[in-house]
A and B are shown apart, each in its own frame.
Chain A
Amino acid sequence: MDAAANGATWLGQAAWRAVKFLYPIALVILAWAVAAHAGWVRPLFLPSPQAVAEQFWPMLNGGEIVAPLFLSLYRAFGGLVIALVIGAAVGVAIARTRWMRWGVDPLVSVAFPAPKIAFMPIFILWFGIDSVSKVLLVAFTCVFPIIVATYHGATTVSRTIVWSAQAMGTSERELLRRVILPATLPYIFSGLRVTVPVALITAYTAEMVAGGGGLGSALMYAQRFFQTPSVFLYIILMLLSGVVLDQFMLAARSWLIPWQPEEDS
């Protein structure tokens, strides 16, 4: 079959998949538009989708979108990197050494179910309301799931793989680098993927509570002045930032860990 026809069918299939995926969302937006236009609710409470969309360009030009968005992302990303480095290191350490496990285990057990947002006033007290406190809060929140994921991955490395490597003369140091770390990487990545939304959420929430710039603060500001379309827009932006980052993570995964078969989210 000629390439053009093949290309056309592929495009057609992709388009159909997109329609199947987007139609519920389109329905929701449609319902929203109908509700707004029918006048059942005052525009103050429910602006129409157009009103929200119309806010986008003026806000973009007014610097109310890009700067706060990147500030939030910077904080989320910064905290995440710190959490990743510390979490992966600790996770591997407690998987290999027993006394480290005894030491860290109680701390993780207590910290894991705790709502770490409750610790935010402490971070504000110590580091003020600027980025540092928020980055550290994000790091604090994200480190635990990463420790757990790394630990899980490191302990799941099959004995026989380790034994094979040792039989082939791998030193303890090399073992860590050449066998355990690559085998653990998919688990760390899984943990990371789940933690990315957490990092974003923590950054946004911290900004909503304490101010200090970022998308969260901007949202609160808009609400305080009853600028409902802006409120909606910020919520949508937060949503999209999460979606885009997740897609990015998926792409990064196939690039970084090409040997792992894909599984569904």
Chain B
Amino acid sequence: MITLARRWGSLAALLMVWEIAVVTRAVDPDFLPAVHTIAAALWDLVSAGEIWINLLASTYRALVGLAIGTAVGVAVGLLMATSRAANGFFGPLVAMTYSLPKASLVPLFILWFGIGDTTNMLTVFLATLLPVVVSTYHGVKAVPQVLVWSAQAMGTPRAQILRRILIPASLLSILTGMRIALGFSWVLTISAEMIAAKTGIGKLIFLYGENGSYAYMFAGILAIVAVAYAADRAMVWLMHAALHWHDSADLAGEH
């Protein structure tokens, strides 16, 4: 009970203060809808089904882009860590494009592919690629030499070193990169939808804002925050499960 209070206490307190402030008109309800109004709006969206279609569209785009970005990212990261030539080629490209806001490519993609899933997923793909490449690369580079040497001394063929040694040993790093990429996937999907889209929660939020339906706008934001939070929790759970053997304190770090 105490732990529950500790975990959510300040949030609950925040919501209460918020509700009281709006209900007593200390804050203008036009600018900040009361908690109960937002809750009602959210309920309306959930039962009317409007939110599901859009949430699903956004989630689909984010996760597909993430999946492809992760797969390619791990492959490139592994390649860069094991081949000097690959590192020499991809390294500068990675360093350069790190600073590029991938959302800036959305207008270009709209020009090339029009408004729709392709633009969105391509943007997410590119955004999730880099953190996974970098974390995979660093993870593999950090594998202690003696682990590889031991495996070689015990007769592990070259082709198996990657799968049996390098990947398990760098798993924490890889999964941490994936977790960061997961966060990015939401940001880019929403950004792309707000810039131009036909469907999606980002678009929905934007529309409500333009129409002045602020309670619904807040509700939409709340919905995506909840989804992103749940996804992150799921990822953390996955990491704990996959890394139960890991002795690092990093595993306990939730942020």
Q: Which A residues contact B (CB, under 8 angstroms)?
A: 20-25, 28, 44-45, 102-110, 112-122, 124-126, 148, 152, 197, 200-201, 204-205, 208-209, 216, 219-220, 222-223, 226, 228, 231-232, 234-235, 238-239, 241-243, 245-246, 265
Contact = CB atoms under 8 A, between A and B. Distances in A.
Nearest to A120: B194
Given A22-B92, A115-B190, A108 B224 contact: no
Contacts of B99: 197, 200, 239, 241-243, 245-246
Interface in B213-234: 214, 217-218, 220-221, 224-225, 228-229, 231-232
Q: Which of A24, A104, A231, A243 has the most CB of B within 10 A?
A: A24
5 contacts: A114-B228, A118-B190, A204-B104, A208-B107, A238-B100
A254 to B, nearest CB: 18
Contacts of B97: 239
A161 B93 CA distance: 41
Given A125-B217, A223-B111, 5 more contacts: A106-B7, A108-B255, A112-B183, A115-B225, A121-B206
A108 B93 CA distance: 33
Contact of A118 (B202, B214, B229): B202
A25 B253 CA distance: 37
Given A118-B190, A120-B194, A220-B195, A106 B104 contact: no
Contacts of B104: 204, 208, 216, 219, 234-235, 238
Contacts of A106: 7-11
A216 B195 CA distance: 11
Interface string B244-255: 000000000111
A108 B6 CA distance: 13
Given A104-B10, A231-B107, A239-B97, A24 B205 contact: no
Contacts of A23: 92
A209 B231 CA distance: 25
Q: Which 9 A-B pairs have the closest CB atoms?
A: A242-B99, A223-B107, A113-B232, A121-B209, A201-B101, A115-B186, A103-B10, A115-B187, A114-B225
Nearest to B202: A118
B103 interface: yes
Contacts of B14: 107
A117 B106 contact: no
B221 to A, nearest CB: 5
Given A25-B92, A106-B11, A122-B221, A208 B103 contact: yes
A126 B214 CA distance: 11
B101 A118 contact: no
A223 B196 CA distance: 12
Nearest to B107: A223
A45 B112 contact: yes
A25 to B, nearest CB: 6
B218 A115 contact: no
Contacts of B191: 115, 117, 205, 208-209
Contacts of A124: 209
Contacts of B162: none
B98 interface: yes
Contact of A197 (B98, B103, B183, B221): B98
B177 to A, nearest CB: 13
B31 A21 contact: no
B101 A24 contact: no
B40 interface: no
A220 B224 contact: no
B96 interface: yes
B229 A110 contact: yes
A108 B231 CA distance: 16
B16 interface: no
Contacts of B232: 112-113
Interface in B230-246: 231-232
Contacts of A109: 229, 254-255
B108 A205 contact: no
B20 interface: no
B101 A223 contact: no
Nearest to B6: A102
Contacts of B206: 121, 209
Nearest to A228: B111
Interface in B72-94: 88-93
Interface string B166-190: 0000000000000000110011011
